[in-house]
Amino acid sequence: MNFIPTKDILKKNLNQRGLIKAAKGGLVCSKWDAVVEKVFKNKLKDQTKAVSYKDGELKIAVVNPSVGQELQLRQAEVLKVLNNELDGVQVDWVKIVN
């Protein structure tokens, strides 16, 4: 008798229902606050919020344009820290929304 590991069954079912993308988006967004703390040392705490993640693009809401500029200036560093926090998910771009 052949047994199929539960993880394989779960992965297949999640994939069929499109839930893996949602789970990845949730994972990426959940790491945002830790990344802000590491990169900006709480300077931007409570001034940004991860809104969504789709196809390598992370949308970040900011309280004002100057916070958005700060994020854009340090985007390479933010992406490096964020991608190091993630396991198997890649963020290629941060889009700033007001």
The model's confidence at residue 97, banded by pLDDT at 50, 70 and 90, is: very high
Question: To 5 degrees, how large is the angle CA 40–CA 34–CA 92?
Answer: 85
Nearest to 25 by CA among 3, 50, 48: 50
The model's confidence at residue 12, banded by pLDDT at 50, 70 and 90, is: confident
pLDDT in tens, 13-70: 877 777 777 778 888 999 999 999 999 998 888 999 999 999 999 999 999 999 999 9
pLDDT at 94 over 90: yes
* H helices, E strands: number in the chain: 4, 3
Query: 10 Å Cβ neighbour count for 58?
Result: 23
CA atoms of 75 and 57, how far apart (whole Å): 12
pLDDT at 5 over 90: no
The model's confidence at residue 80, banded by pLDDT at 50, 70 and 90, is: very high
Q: What is the C-alpha end-to-end distance of the chain, expressed in Å?
A: 57
Backbone angles phi, psi at 76, to 5 degrees: -60, -45
Q: What integer pLDDT is reported at residue 22 of this predicted model?
A: 79
CA atoms of 51 and 96, how far apart (whole Å): 10
Domains of the chain: 6-97 (3.30.300.180)
Q: What integer pLDDT is reported at residue 95 of this predicted model?
A: 96
CA atoms of 98 and 69, how far apart (whole Å): 12
